[in-house]
Amino acid sequence: MRWSVVCPVGRVQAEQGYAVYKSVPYGSVEDTMPYLVRRAQENRTVLQGIRKERDLLRLELHRRMRLGRGGR
């Protein structure tokens, strides 16, 4: 199956000039499991950072909205 059909988001990003690659681990379960576990932990860390950033943005938005109404 064509890559652009399987991953249309990646295709669009590549067309916009972003470097896009697809990684597919292969091998026995014993060989690939440590890699997959590491990736899952990395993704969890990224999500935690995104949540923190979202919360900070929300606080800043509320602060600015209060300032617009004469608050501090």
Domain segments of the chain as ranges: 26-72
Two tokens, residue 59: 């606080």
Average pLDDT value for residue range 58-67: 92
With pLDDT > 70 as the criterion, what percentage of the chain qualifies?
88
Specify the pLDDT at position 68: 82
Instruction: Determine the Cα–Cα distance for residues 5 and 19; give it in Å rounded to an integer.
Output: 18
pLDDT at 2 over 80: no
- Which residues are within 8 A (CB) of 10 and not within 5 positions of it... i.e. 6 or more apart? 3, 4, 20, 22
pLDDT above 70 (res 3): no
Please state, in angstroms and rounded to a whole number, the distance separating the CA atoms of residues 32 and 26. Answer: 7
